[in-house]
A = this chain, B = another copy of it.
């Protein structure tokens, strides 16, 4: 079983909150952005869950995830409308009350001051609610902040706002060893011929993660072999062995750097 504490790994889970994802209306992209961001900070994303805008569902998933992993990042449900219930659910999960954070109220007041005829209303005040004991997660965009409480970070669902909030999360994470990864690309050979040499190299390097991700694009088929690990030297050695093993099996490869 995977554990937050095993061999120095620092782990996180993502909890995506929103009917719009489960109905298929909206394509989630936050999971991938968060995964990459955490990777850079040496934190492994170990699990993700998507739940509907239902109070008890959010609480149950949040409690399961925050007990098991070092960090939980939630997305969605912190806007001003009646279906934005994330703050209520997070407060309930931690057994604390919500209060209107004066800094958020001030921020909203400053924004509406520039819009004649617009007055503070209940919906705007809703976005200022933060659980007692929580701290703000600020962003550079013109949107109310998210918040953090315990090991949980509560972020917006709108991708541009979520990404801006992430920048105020990284410095609070206790990072593990950063994972390095490289890709070896095989074209014109299927997974069924790659499998044996790949498995032999995987067995010889149990500390490395070797994955095979087949593609079929514009008439070209093949597989991207992704090597991932903590030790850059072992990663480099593993790549050399893998390319040699594939060559012995008559398979030509292209080495690629991964995007950072």
Contact = CB atoms under 8 A, between A and B. Distances in A.
Interface of A: 1-2, 16, 19-29, 31-39, 44-54, 56-57, 60, 79-83, 118, 121-124, 126-127, 158, 160, 179, 181, 191-196, 198-199, 202, 209-214, 216, 226, 228
Contact of A50 (B23, B47, B192): B47
Given A33-B24, A195-B126, A79 B46 contact: no
A254 B33 CA distance: 32
A123 B52 contact: no
A25 to B, nearest CB: 6
A23 B35 CA distance: 5
A81 B124 CA distance: 52
B32 A213 contact: no
Contacts of A80: 191-192, 195
Nearest to A127: B192
Question: In the complex, which of the residues A56, A80, A192 has the most CB atoms of chain B within 10 Å of its own CB atom?
Answer: A192
A83 B126 CA distance: 46
B23 A122 contact: no
Between A20, A47, A80, A226, the greatest number of chain B beta carbons within 10 A of the residue's beta carbon is seen for: A80
B46 A81 contact: no
A31 B216 CA distance: 20
B82 A202 contact: yes
Given A28-B31, A118-B193, A121-B192, 17 more contacts: A19-B209, A20-B211, A22-B46, A24-B33, A24-B35, A53-B211, A79-B212, A79-B214, A80-B195, A81-B195, A82-B195, A82-B198, A82-B199, A83-B202, A121-B196, A122-B196, A158-B214
A54 B2 contact: yes
A56 B158 contact: no
